[in-house]
Structure 1
């Protein structure tokens, strides 16, 4: 049996409508040493049935995650089952673009960086593009991870994107304790930040993923709390790593996070109106 090089992990929850497209977008990638791990987090729809349709592919491992624990429980469930040297998490309603896995593998292998991220298209529940080529603002060149972390904090925004945009070294993620969900809305950015303190960031400038924006996503339910969670994360990171963030970095980031929260609330309202 081929030793996995890359683990793509999918924490699924009530993704029956979109999961097949997500998994196909992974399995159609031309990359050797791929393993795909999918876990259903006690879904109430047909997610588990959709998963079983992929059971015969030897690259696929299917798991169950008991109810409770929020996103962090399922994200860590699939991640802890991974065995590849590199890892990418893809939520059960997002899609990978052709070639992204091979391209990001080569970036990490050739540079020795701990994390790379690509641009993504943001679409609505029906796949219509809302924002094209989104992400990586100010992250257009190789840099020490701490510099990338600081830029994201000062922007008050997750410049790296959702997990489908990101590929990491699995060992670096494991050594930091996996997905860090103390600040649930920022589980992705907070985790990237801890990984990036262990090495360099190198961007993947291509559009490599599609992020589906839906009024039913857990991120929408937390939209009123996002600026508060961002402030708490900035304060935590400053306290843990004062050599990375200054007090000014935190003040600037807090102000911009509040502005971003207002802008995101407006975008969700427009999305809800568009979907009626």
Structure 2
């Protein structure tokens, strides 16, 4: 697939502190037939200047400025200008391992034309690019709609590589969630729509560095739950047979957010999420509380073993192409 252009859309809002490293991680891909479209979503910092410097260094980088409309709007704007057969989105503070695109394109070639999306595994990274943890090594492949109802197996908006026709056929990212007060699950909704119509494949390697920073969108726990419910309501209308899967997935998300709230000492938010779990069906509620207690135990043991939350290593190796 060396002749297939990959379009990388980088939505950016006040991302001057991180976007250089992010774009360099895309430029340093071992697969080099790429274009990078930075979509500045109304930034008021130095994002434009950083983008200009990147464009001077590499002709594969382009820049678009638009009025602020949210991450879904910025991604859709970049997709509209993209020329590639495959499209990837990369948030302006995340990082890619150099072989990320190469491995995903190899998986596309091996899996055949019925596969519309290939994802890999994500590491959590801090502000300095240190690995602080990782997502579970999920291997969901093929027709995964039922599994996707439980939660976003792709994890991050910086992960998926998608066939252009499948992305356009799904309608892109839903910009209305933001205007309806439910921003947060745009990625998951798109992947559900793709999973309705196509197969999905995985590269079983940790190739994405997903930066976890305090105050990020996923830390707005009420909004994340509201966003998920909005997506659930829409899909339950066309897939009532999956209502049970969606309900279990909502409980799983509530547990996950409660754990994050406890870690951040936001105990009121954690209590609210746990209270909602108790209102689930008895079986789901008990299973969720067991999952929550197990998660707390794992975190406590990990903290005791390390003595602190010390980073393990840098996510990226030395640059193979020297673009930074």
The TM-score, its normalising length taken from structure 2, stands at 0.74
- Which whole-Å CA distance do the structure 2 matches of 1:226 and 1:164 have between them? 18
- Which whole-Å CA distance do the structure 2 matches of 1:17 and 1:38 have between them? 15
- Which whole-Å CA distance do the structure 2 matches of 1:100 and 1:189 have between them? 21
Q: What SS class does the counterpart of residue 165 from structure 1 fall into? A: coil
Question: Cα 1:205–1:3, aligned 2, differ >3 Å: closer, same or farther?
Answer: closer
Higher mean Cα deviation, 157-166 or 48-57? 157-166
Question: Cα 1:3–1:268, aligned 2, differ >3 Å: closer, same or farther?
Answer: farther
Larger Rg: 2
From 253, 256, 262, the counterpart of 1:266: 262
Deviation for aligned residue 1:232: 2.7
- Uncovered stretches (5+) of structure 2, i.e. residues with no partner: 267-308, 310-324
Higher mean Cα deviation, 55-64 or 258-267? 258-267
- Uncovered stretches (5+) of structure 1, i.e. residues with no partner: none
Deviation for aligned residue 1:127: 2.3
Deviation for aligned residue 1:225: 2.3
**Number of matched pairs:** 260
The TM-score, its normalising length taken from structure 1, stands at 0.86
Equivalent residues of 2:120, 2:203 under 8 A apart:
yes
- Which whole-Å CA distance do the structure 2 matches of 1:27 and 1:204 have between them? 20
Deviation for aligned residue 1:152: 2.8
Corresponding position of 2:161: 167
Equivalent residues of 1:40, 1:63 under 8 A apart:
yes
What RMSD, in angstroms, separates the aligned Cα atoms of the two structures? Answer: 2.3
Deviation for aligned residue 1:48: 0.9
- Which whole-Å CA distance do the structure 2 matches of 1:19 and 1:107 have between them? 28
Alignment of 1:146-185 (within 5 A): 148-154=144-150, 157-181=151-175, 182=177, 183-185=182-184
Corresponding position of 1:60: 61
Q: What SS class does the counterpart of residue 246 from structure 1 fall into? A: helix
Question: Cα 1:258–1:217, aligned 2, differ >3 Å: closer, same or farther?
Answer: closer
- Which whole-Å CA distance do the structure 2 matches of 1:136 and 1:268 have between them? 25
Higher mean Cα deviation, 251-260 or 117-126? 251-260
Q: Deviations over 1:104-153 (max 9, x none)?
A: 01212331210111111111223232213x1453xx15321xxx232132
Alignment of 1:1-276 (within 5 A): 5-56=5-56, 57-67=58-68, 69-111=69-111, 112=113, 113-132=115-134, 134-137=135-138, 140-144=139-143, 148-154=144-150, 157-181=151-175, 182=177, 183-220=182-219, 222-242=220-240, 245-269=241-265
- Which whole-Å CA distance do the structure 2 matches of 1:48 and 1:267 have between them? 35
Q: Deviations over 1:158-196 (max 9, x none)?
A: 221112221111111111111124242111111111122
Q: What SS class does the counterpart of residue 131 from structure 1 fall into? A: strand
- Which whole-Å CA distance do the structure 2 matches of 1:264 and 1:239 have between them? 31
Q: What SS class does the counterpart of residue 204 from structure 2 fall into? A: strand
